[in-house]
Amino acid sequence: MTSAARTAGETILELEGISLAFGGVKALTDISFDVREHEVRAIIGPNGAGKSSMLNVINGVYRPQQGTIKFRGRVRRDMNTHDAAVQGIARTFQNIALFKSMSVLDNIMTGRNLKMKANFLEQALWVGRARREEYAQREKVEAVIDFLEIQHIRKTPVGRLPYGLQKRVELARALAAEPELLLLDEPMAGMNVEEKQDMCRFILDVNEQYGTTIVLIEHDMGVVMDISDRVVVLDYGKKIGDGTPEEVRTNQSVIDAYLGVAH
């Protein structure tokens, strides 16, 4: 694989008429968009626009009342989280969801859980398959650690790390699953400028090196415009814009949504 990594390929994920409501609250209304292979696709919008709900629909945390999800040619009403993971969808969370008292290494190892075949007994006794598997999986994990440059905190409990590094560890865990589609929920929220730049570089590196398709939610418009290939804009659960960063930047309804409009 060569420079193909950065040029988008075929559509791998297609969302068709997704509507999601919690009781009377309509979180998402009739949303359709697609994600092409190897691209960086951003979802933006003001607070409460339904961005995180959208990600939750994609990896099966929420079941939409209407609409279909087509992933890798297979159409379904909803995903379930396990299926999503098996099919190569990994994600990070807006409010970090790591095991705080476990080491960085152990946390990232959990990202390889699905790839381990050893049964409970073998793992408990540390024999046969369990041991061989762990060695093999550890190697993959170490490659990710090297990739994200977190060797120095390998053995540190996650709870002791600063926020920016925890975010990176979470990305590492998602990467350890060797996903085809990576969902990032506000990977840069709460970071300082330097941490943001690091994170941007890592996201682009992941995209380039592994050819991973990335869907990310982000508030920082500068970041979004810099690193994404195409952008979806949501507002009050509706799609109000879709296109390249330049197209979205000049879209009047997007400008209204972000800057407000005189009533």
Partner 1 sequence: MSAPPASPALDTFPRLLLHHAAVRPDHPALREKDLGIWQTWTWRQVAGEVRALACGLAAQGFERGMHLAIIGDNRPRLYWSMVAAQALGGIPVPMYQDAVAAEFVFVLNDAEIAYAIAEDQEQVDKVLESMSEVATLAHIYYDDPRGLRNYEGVTSFERLQEIGREFDAAHPGFYEAQIAKGHAEDVSVMLYTSGTTGKPKGVCQTHRAFIASARGGCAFDRLTADDRMLSYLPMAWVGDHLFSYAQAMYAGLTINCPESGDTVMTDMREIGPTFYFAPPRVFENLLTQVMIRMEDASAPKRWLFRTFMAVAKRCGAEIMDGKGGIPLGDRLLYRLGSVLIYGPLRNVLGMSRIRVAYTAGAAIGPDLFRFYRSIGINLKQLYGSTETCAYVCLQPDGGVRLDTVGIAAPGVEIRISDNGEVMVRGPMLMKEYFKRPDATAETIDAGGFLHTGDAGLIDSDGHLKIIDRAKDVGKLSGGAIFAPNYIENKLKFFPHIKEAVAFGDKRDHVCAFVNIDIGSVGNWAERRGIAYSGYTDLAQKPEVYDLIRQCVEEVNADLARDPVLAASQVHRFLILHKELDPDDDELTRTRKVRRGFVAEKYGVLIDALYGGKSVQHIETLVKFEDGRSGMVAADLRIEDAATSGQAAPARAA
Residues of this chain that bind partner 1 (CB under 8 A): 2-3, 138-139, 142-143, 145-147, 149, 151-152, 154-155, 205, 208-209
Is 69:15 a contact under the CB 8 Å cutoff? yes
**Nearest approach, Cβ of residue 211 and partner 1 (Å):** 11
**Nearest approach, Cβ of residue 2 and partner 1 (Å):** 7
**Nearest approach, Cβ of residue 7 and partner 1 (Å):** 11
Among 41, 3, 36, 6, CA closest to 244: 41
The residue among 205 and 226 lying less far from partner 1, judged by its C-beta, is: 205
The residue among 76 and 152 lying less far from partner 1, judged by its C-beta, is: 152
The residue among 146 and 247 lying less far from partner 1, judged by its C-beta, is: 146
Q: How far apart are CA 118 and CA 131, in angstroms?
A: 9
**Nearest approach, Cβ of residue 208 and partner 1 (Å):** 7
Residues present in the chain in total:
263
**Nearest approach, Cβ of residue 143 and partner 1 (Å):** 6
Phi, psi of 216 (to 5 degrees): -130, 145
Instruction: Dig out the tokens for 75 from the structure.
Output: 């159409």
The residue among 83 and 134 lying less far from partner 1, judged by its C-beta, is: 134
The residue among 3 and 95 lying less far from partner 1, judged by its C-beta, is: 3
The residue among 208 and 246 lying less far from partner 1, judged by its C-beta, is: 208
**Nearest approach, Cβ of residue 145 and partner 1 (Å):** 7
Q: How far apart are CA 147 and CA 165, in angstroms?
A: 14
The residue among 59 and 107 lying less far from partner 1, judged by its C-beta, is: 107
> CA separation (Å) from 222 to 18, 40, 193?
28, 15, 11
What is the C-alpha radius of gyration for the chain, rounded to an integer number of angstroms?
A: 19
**Nearest approach, Cβ of residue 173 and partner 1 (Å):** 16
Is 39:180 a contact under the CB 8 Å cutoff? no
